[in-house]
Structure 1
Amino acid sequence: MFVVSLAFADLVVVFYPYLLVLYAIFYDGWALGDTQCKVSSFLMGLSVIGSIFNITGIAVNHYCYICHSFAYDKLYSYPSSSYTVAVVVVHFLVPMAVVTFCYLRIWVLVIQVRRKVKSELRPRFKPSDLRNFITMFVVFILFAIYWAPLNLIGLAVAINPPAMAPHIPEWLFVVSYFMATFSCLNAIIYRLLNPNFQKEYKCIVTSVWPPRLFHTETSRGAEGLKSKPSPGLNNN
C-alpha cells in the first residue's frame, strides 16, 4: 500500500510538472501562463509531501517488522485503523493540545495584566489585541466542539474495531459528521466579534455590488433619455 502510494506520488510529478518544466527549458522561458505555473507548483509540492510521508510510513513499517516482530501483526492487522489513529493523533489531538496550552498561557497572562492595569500607566495589551485574541479563542473552542465527536468516535473504533464498532449508533456518527461541517460558520464568528473583519466584509460587499448598481443607474438613465432628454442628464 505504501509503495503504490509512493509510486503514484512520483507519477503525478512525472506526468505534469516535469513536462511543463522541460517545455520551459526547451523554449528558454515560461510561456504557459500564471495558472499553469500555480497548478504545476501545487502538484509538485503535494507530490513531495506525499512522497516524504510514504517513505516515513515505510520506514516505520520496516522498523516495527524487524525490531518489534512480535507486535507487528497486532499493529498492522487493521491498516485503516492504524491510519485513523495516526490522523486523529497527528492532525487533531496534538494540534489541539498545543493550541490549548498556548491559550491557557495567554489567559493567565491576560488575567495578570488586568490586575496590574490599575497601578500601571500603560497597559500591556491594546483593546484591539484583546478582541483579536478573544475572536481566535472562540474560533478554537467552536472548532474543537465541532470536530471532537467525529475524531473521538473514529479513534475509539480504530483502537478496537470488533469491540467498539457495534456499540456506536449510526445516528451518533451522522450527527458528529454534520457537526464537523459547521466549522464553516467561522466566517460569521469573525464578522460578529471583530471590527476589523466587519470592515473587510464591507469592503468586499461594496466591491462586488457597484457594477450592478452602475448597470441599474445606466439603465434608468437610458430610459430617462428616451422619455425626457435634458442637459442635466447629459452632465450627469
Structure 2
Amino acid sequence: MNKEHFEAARASEAEYHQRFYEDNDLFEQGTWMAQPGAVVMEMLERLLQHREDAQVLDLGCGVGRNTIPVAERLCGTRSRVVGVDLLEDAAAKLKENAVEFGVQQLVESVAADVEHYAIEANAYDYIIACSALEHTSSRDALERVLDRMKRGTRTGGIHCITMSTDVEEVDRVTGEVRKGLIETNLAQQDAMALLQQHYRDWNILIERVVPQSIEEVKDGRSIDFRCSLITFAAQKIR
C-alpha cells in the first residue's frame, strides 16, 4: 500500500470509529460493542486455571469492549489491564468507563498507535489484539508488532487475535462491491499462514475463520462491511 492509500484508509477508519463511539454506549445492545468477544473471555479463563492474577495488554481496545469485562473478571487480584488505542477520545472514554464500572484501579488507558507502541519484554500474561493488526501500515509492520507482542509475553502467556481479511464493502443502495478501504487488507490464506509461521514455536490453541458482515455507515455511505474473520489464539510454552 502506498502512503496516500494508507493515509486515506487510516482517516476513514478513524472517522468511522470516532463517530461510532460518540453515537453508541459501551455494551449497547444491537451494536458490535454489546458484549465482549467470547473468545477473549474464554482464553482468559484458560489462563486463570493456573494463576489468580494476570498482567494484560489490550491492543486496539477502543472504549473498553474487552478491557472492562477482563478487568471486572480480575477484580480483587493484583492484576493490571493496559488498554491501547489510536484515538485519544477512545482512550479518554475508556478511563471514564473504568470508573463507571468500578475497575479504575486495574485499568491503565494509553492513547498510542499500536504499530509503534513499545511493549516491555516479559511483561504480560495475556495480550489481546482484536481487530487491531489489520490497521497497521503494511504486512511488514504487522509482523513487527507480532514480534513485539511475543517478546512481551511471559512463559505460559496467551495471545488472542481476531483479524479481518479479504475485506470488501457492499453499497447497500447500489449493490456495488468494492475492495475494503482498510490499512492492511490481507487475503485470509496469507494472513493465517503468517500467524502460523510466527507462532510455530508456541502451542496454537485456536485457528478459525468465519465470514462476517456488519452494517456500517462509512464515508457517507451505507455499506455492508464483509470479511473473512480470523480468530487465532496461542500459548507460549517456553
* TM-score normalised by L of structure 1: 0.20
* TM-score normalised by L of structure 2: 0.20
Higher RCO, Cα 8 Å, sep 6+: 2
Higher strand share: 2
